[in-house]
Homo-oligomer: A and B are copies of this chain.
Amino acid sequence: MEDSFFSEVTDRIRFGGIDSTNPISFRVYEANRLVLGKRMEDHLRIAVCLWHSFNWPGSDVFGVGTFDRPWLDPRLEPMIAARAKLDAAFEFIRKLGVPFFCFHDRDIAPEGGTFRESRANLETMVAETETHMARSGVKLLWGTANLFSHPRYAAGAATNPDPEVFAYAAAQVKLMLEMTKRLDGANYVLWGGREGYETLLNTDIGREEAQLARFLSMVAEHKHRIGFKGTLLIEPKPQEPTKHQYDYDAATVHSFLARHDLDREYRLNLEVNHATLAGHSFQHEVAYAISHGIFGSVDANRGDYQNGWDTDQFPNSVDELSLAVYEILRSGGFTTGGFNFDTKLRRQSLDRTDLFHAHIGGIDTLARALLAAALMIEDGRLEKLRRERYAGWDDELGRSILSGDALFEMLAGRVETGEIDPRARSGHQELLENIVNQEIWSADQRAVAEAAQKR
């Protein structure tokens, strides 16, 4: 295969500014630009994923692949193909200039005829990956195991009615957790692709929950045994491929973790499109996770509000993302997490360069959402108005209620006498929305102003 796969892009992508006429340049994202005292790159911690972007041919349920991905040709020797794929992926990541990548075991190494062979393939390719990482400086945001593509997982992995499948999944996760440690991954993700059901008629959800809890406990035990320091993450999704998944949304996963004493071991990897498929705004899922101390990382993409499946498009709406980024900034930002582009090109975007357009657009969208969110933080009006709304809870009545001092009798007595007879107050929603828009529309106006003065 070629020496350089993405030969149309000869160099690392540069920042060109909002006016740039070069489509292969960033309009907003500057890795070293300081925002609230931190580099953009360190705020966003962007990762490229190896599955959609390198391991998917552009197929869908109604048609075969359309993309130019020569390493997916089934006639190639699998390990030669795996090396070609990795070369192309690292060429792409290096030219894109982002600090992280993410992968499943099967994304970098082919499944062999036996588990032993699969393990050997993986170990070989992890060694190659180490070389690529050392050369490029690119780091691993997270690793994960593919427990959903092979027929053996048709009825789930940990929640399979056959304990042998549980065992097989355990072996696969054990190995991949060790490989993630070896590559110094910042996190390890569990996405329960088939941990759900097609019909309740053949499903015992109580039993399957117990299995899942056992599996996740074993993962945590093994993490500690091998001394892996990264964060364990669970990724909620409501449905698809199954009719109904056990990790439906943030609240459902939270419930599960808390009841099985796993909430100190796991954080959430939230995906935009999974949130909207579950009937929540992405901001809701982020705010829920943060307010309950289980926020971890983000799969940055977007869904299509008119389509009911996981379209995994590249994010392109600052309006949609700014408030979610605002919640993340308010909470102190990412620790081990980041924004991973779990995103698919449209099936017709079949030129090699389209992969750059897509990532550049997504990264610029996140960068601009970051600028808008930073303005919201600096300005402080949103937070001030929110705090004032709850001011009463810091007074005597509010404090006595929350402390447990006030009982029903006491409260009822003060209502009975007419001392307490509250009236509704405005929530000022539209005013708050106007403030948000002012920040979004102002984002980067300083850059524009500076550019104007330079001319």
Contacts and interface: CB of A to CB of B under 8 A. Distances in A.
B205 A168 contact: no
A61 interface: yes
Interface stretch (A30-38, A40-48, A131-139, A345-353): A345-353
A408 B228 CA distance: 15
Interface in A385-411: 385-386, 389-390, 392-393, 395, 397-398, 401-402, 404, 406-409, 411
A137 to B, nearest CB: 26
A264 interface: no
Interface in A201-248: 201-207, 209-211, 214, 217-219, 221-222, 238-241, 243-244, 248
Contacts of A198: 346-348, 427, 429
A258 B254 CA distance: 11
Contacts of A433: 199, 201, 314, 316, 361
Contact of A240 (B65, B162, B307, B428): B307
Nearest to A148: B62
A14 interface: no
Given A200-B287, A241-B62, A453-B452, A441 B18 contact: yes
A357 B153 contact: no
A97 B171 CA distance: 47
B386 A204 contact: yes
A61 B52 CA distance: 11
A46 to B, nearest CB: 16
Residue from A219, A276, A406, A422 with most neighbouring chain B CB atoms (10 Å): A422
B199 A408 contact: no
Interface string A356-373: 011011001100100000
B426 A354 contact: yes
A430 B314 contact: yes
A427 B279 contact: no
Given A420-B164, A427-B198, A453-B453, A170 B412 contact: yes
A70 to B, nearest CB: 15
Interface stretch (A1-9, A85-93, A112-120, A332-340): A112-120
A404 B450 CA distance: 58
Given A309-B309, A401-B166, A429-B198, A152 B452 contact: no
Interface string A314-346: 101111100100010000000000000000011
Contacts of A252: 251-252, 255
Contacts of A448: 445, 448-449, 452
Given A23-B434, A171-B412, A279-B306, A202 B424 contact: no
Contacts of A238: 279
B426 A361 contact: no
A319 B352 CA distance: 27
B291 A171 contact: no
Nearest to A284: B244
Contact of A421 (B155, B168, B402): B168
Given A23-B435, A174-B408, 16 more contacts: A23-B434, A61-B241, A63-B148, A65-B151, A115-B421, A116-B418, A152-B423, A163-B392, A171-B415, A174-B412, A202-B386, A204-B390, A318-B440, A345-B430, A354-B430, A357-B430
B258 A193 contact: no
B283 A200 contact: yes
A19 B442 contact: yes
A13 interface: no
A162 to B, nearest CB: 5
A76 interface: no
Nearest to A361: B434
Contact of A432 (B28, B160, B202, B304): B202
